[in-house]
């Protein structure tokens, strides 16, 4: 049975030097399992960046042929047509359980309502002499969304890129998602249907980013690439930036929880495990003022882990990038959280809203134990 013991450190200095230290993207260490997979596929030891460089160069010069080659080699997919027929997308929607369809539709409504509250408006200001200045805010013509279909698919990520694009008035929204073993994920296709995506392409990894950036006979070149992905997708987005716009270089996913002795250790452990299962390079960290909570979370992680399908990935992730930081007070905890600037910041304290104003640097803030 897989087991993991969370690393525990105390105080600011040790936390900064260990669990909360960051490396540039170039210095991230690929896990042994990933390097072994690369060598098995390519027949030689390559770094992730070398793999991406090779794939992008081939896609740029060989187009669809290179895309099919790498889809076969990496994803085990023999594809006659890279474009997913509309009938296949509609079939996925019909095959999706009614409760899931309702959840997707509700998500679309909520995401749309959120982003409709933040439009940018064009403006023009004239002076008395007939001169003036202003700003025109125009939607992009075409965007490409990458929707991962690796260890776990995330339809929500697709919705959170596609729906804002529609709100902004983007003319064409396309999605690229990998066919694992030749099979597309019905939940992702159903999300594409719910978000009114124009086209879906059965392409993954760096070859998908290359196709969207450079264009091929089948895949139209886009103005901007959106969406999360693993290390190959992130490195590919970095290399094509300038040829095409990108949303961000997020790196491996991460969550940081700030908690006191009022937090439920089962919820804290579940949050950490849910993040760690994404990827062996994911980070799941807890900063707490309570030694009792730290000990209870360790017990909960050990209790919940055996029931999870991706426990081997979780163990690898937590062993390399997870842990607990003990501090004297919540002000110190929040100061460390701001320094780390996590993608996801969870506030699990007695009065979490009291601390929201102290947050300066975080991608998303989740207030209270029932936020998600």
The b-or-e profile of 254-272 (16+ CB within 10 A means b, else e) is bbbbbbbeebebbbbbbbb
Among candidate residues 144, 160, 161, 200, the one with its CA nearest the CA of residue 177: 200
Which of 300, 344, 355, 369 is labelled catalytic?
Answer: 344
Task: Read off φ and ψ for residue 138, nearest 5 degrees.
Answer: -125, 145
CA dist 187 → 88, 104, 124, 293 (Å):
12, 9, 44, 36
Neighbours of 106 (CB within 10 A): 11
Strand partners, 347: 258, 367
337, containing H or E segment: helix 330-340
Per the structure block, which two tokens stand in for 125? 């200001």
User: Contact 137/122 with Cβ under 8 angstroms?
Assistant: yes
User: Contact 96/196 with Cβ under 8 angstroms?
Assistant: no
Residue 177 CA to residue 158 CA, distance in Å, equals: 10
What do you get for the CA distance between the two ends of the chain, in Å? 29
Which of 254, 300, 343, 369 is labelled catalytic?
Answer: 343
Q: Is 78 a catalytic residue?
A: no
Residue 71 CA to residue 356 CA, distance in Å, equals: 45
Cα dihedral sign, 294-295-300-301: positive
Q: Is 344 a catalytic residue?
A: yes
Q: Which residues are known to be catalytic?
A: 343-344
């Amino acid at each position: 049975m897989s087991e993991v013991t969370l690393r525990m450190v105390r105080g600011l200095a040790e936390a900064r030097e260990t669990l909360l230290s960051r490396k540039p993207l170039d210095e991230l260490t690929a896990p042994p399992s990933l390097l072994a997979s690369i060598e098995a596929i390519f027949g030689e030891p390559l770094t992730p960046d070398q793999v991406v460089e090779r794939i992008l160069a081939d896609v740029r010069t060989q187009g669809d042929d290179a895309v099919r080659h790498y889809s076969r080699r990496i994803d085990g997919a023999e594809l006659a047509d890279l474009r997913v027929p509309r009938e296949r997308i509609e079939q996925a929607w019909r095959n999706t359980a009614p409760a899931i369809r309702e959840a997707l539709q509700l998500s679309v409504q909520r995401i749309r309502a959120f982003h409709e509250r933040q439009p940018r408006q064009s403006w023009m200001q004239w002076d008395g002499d007939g001169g003036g200045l202003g700003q025109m805010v125009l939607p992009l013509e075409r965007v490409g969304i990458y929707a991962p279909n690796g260890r776990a698919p995330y339809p929500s990520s697709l919705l959170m890129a596609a729906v804002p694009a529609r709100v902004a008035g983007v003319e064409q929204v396309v999605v690229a998602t990998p066919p694992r073993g030749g099979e597309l994920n019905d939940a992702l296709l159903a999300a594409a249907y719910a978000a009114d995506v124009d086209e879906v392409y059965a392409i993954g990894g760096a070859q998908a980013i290359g196709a969207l950036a450079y264009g091929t006979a089948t895949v139209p070149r886009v103005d901007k690439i959106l969406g999360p992905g693993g290390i190959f997708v992130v490195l590919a987005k970095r290399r094509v930036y300038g040829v095409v716009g990108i949303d961000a270089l997020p790196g491996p996913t991460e969550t940081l929880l700030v908690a006191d002795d009022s937090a439920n250790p089962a919820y804290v452990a579940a949050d950490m495990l849910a993040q760690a299962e994404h990827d062996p390079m994911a980070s799941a960290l807890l900063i707490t003022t309570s030694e009792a909570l730290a000990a209870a979370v360790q017990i909960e992680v050990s209790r919940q882990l055996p029931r999870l399908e991706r426990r081997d990935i979780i163990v690898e992730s937590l062993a390399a990038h997870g842990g607990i930081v003990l501090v004297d007070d919540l002000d110190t905890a929040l100061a460390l959280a701001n320094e780390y600037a996590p993608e996801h910041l969870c506030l699990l304290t007695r009065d979490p809203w009291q601390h929201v104003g102290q947050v300066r640097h975080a991608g998303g803030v989740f207030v209270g134990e029932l936020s998600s």
